[in-house]
Chain A
Amino acid sequence: MNNLTESMKNKSLSYSIDYDCEAEIISLSGKLHLVQREKAFHEILSWFDLVIDKEPPRVLLDVSNLEYLNSLGISVIAKFVIRARDKKSIHVVVKASEEIIWQTKSLVNLKRIMPSLEFFFC
C-alpha cells in the first residue's frame, strides 16, 4: 500500500503531514501555526478523524520534526488523543524530540489526558 503524503507549502510557513496507512504512522513536520476555520486546521482534523475511525490497535504520532506548534495545535493533538482514549481499543504512541521545547513542556500533558499513552523521546 502506498504512503499517502500531503505537503502543504506556504510562503511563510512550511509544514507537511505524512500518513503511512499501513504502519498507522502520522507524521507532522515543519512549523505549524493553526488558526480556527483555516485550511490546515481542517486538513489535520480530517486526517486525525480518518485514523480514529479506522480504529487501529496502535497508532504512532510522530512530531519529532515539528519545530513549532501553537496552542491551538496542541489542543488539536489533545483532541486526537481524547478520541483515541474514548475508543478504548487504540494504543497511542507519540514520538517527540528532546530538543523541541513545546514538546518537552506542553506535549507531556497528553499523559494526563491518556495515562496509557506512550512517549518516545529522541
Chain B
Amino acid sequence: MMTTKYELHLKEFLEPLKYNDGCSEAYFLLNYQLLKTEYDKSGLLIHRFSFGEIALQFMKTIDASYFQQDLLSESEIRQSIDYIANELLENSIKYSDTTATRIKLEVKVTTQTITVTSTNVISQNRANIFFDYIRKLKSSNPSELYIEQLEQRLSDNNKSGLGLLSMINDYKAEINWKFTSIEHIHKILSHVIVRFPIQST
C-alpha cells in the first residue's frame, strides 16, 4: 500500500539528532516522486506524522528542562513547526523539478528561535519565477501584500506565496533563500530558510 511508504522509518528518513553549541538539528529526507504522485492523484498531503511533535521530542532529549517559562508553550511550538514545515513541504512538492528524487526538511532549534529549511531541486525557469517573487516581496510591505493576496480571487494563479506571507506576518518569521547551481544537470538547488522566534514576549 502506498501509505506504508510514508511511515517514518527513522534510520531511512531521519538523521539522528545532532547537538552542538546549544543548537539541535534534525532533518527529514522525503521521497519526492512518491509525494508528487500522491499529491497529483488525490491532491492530499499525508499528515501521518507531525514534524512539530518530532522536533519537540528532540528538544526534550537534549534537555528535559528545555522548556523554561519564557518560551512559547509546547503546543504553540508544535503547531507552528507543523504549519511552517507543511507549507514548505507543499511548495517543494509543487515546484521541484520533475526529475528530482528527494526533498529535505531540516529543523534547527535554539533557545531563541526555530529554523525550518526546505531544500529541493528546481529548474532554471522556476528559479527565475522565484527571483521575481522574492524581489517583489522585498520591495513591498509584507503586511499589505498579505491582505492584497487574501483579497484576490481564488481563480487567479497567484496563490503561491500566501504561505510565506502568512509566516512573515503571523508567525513573525524571517525568510531567507539560497540558490546553488547544480552544473552537471543544469538545475538549481533551492533552500528556503524560515526562522521564527520562540521566546514569549
A residues sitting closer than 8 Å to B (CB atoms) are: 10-13, 31, 33, 35-41, 45, 68, 70-72, 74-76, 78-79, 82, 99-102, 105-106, 109, 112-113
Contact with A along B111-146 (1 / 0, CB 8 A): 000000000000000000000000000000000001
Interface of A is mostly: helix
Q: Is the CB of A70 within 8 A of B90?
A: yes
B residues sitting closer than 8 Å to A (CB atoms) are: 3, 39, 42-48, 75-76, 79-80, 82-83, 86-87, 90, 146-147, 149-151, 153-154, 159, 162-163, 166, 169-171
A11 vs B42: C-alpha distance in the bound complex, in angstroms? Answer: 11
Q: Is the CB of B42 within 8 A of A71?
A: no
Interface of B is mostly: helix
* 15 other A-B residue contacts (CB within 8 Å) besides A35-B43, A74-B162, A75-B159: A12-B48, A33-B44, A38-B42, A38-B43, A70-B163, A71-B87, A75-B154, A78-B151, A99-B75, A100-B79, A101-B80, A105-B170, A106-B170, A109-B147, A109-B170
Chain B: CB-nearest residue to A39: B43
Chain B residues near A33: list those with CB within 8 A. 44-45, 47, 86, 90
A69 vs B12: C-alpha distance in the bound complex, in angstroms? Answer: 29
Selected A-B contacts with CB under 8 Å, 19 pairs: A11-B3, A35-B39, A35-B44, A35-B45, A35-B90, A36-B159, A37-B43, A39-B43, A68-B47, A70-B163, A71-B166, A74-B162, A75-B154, A78-B151, A82-B151, A106-B166, A109-B146, A113-B150, A113-B151
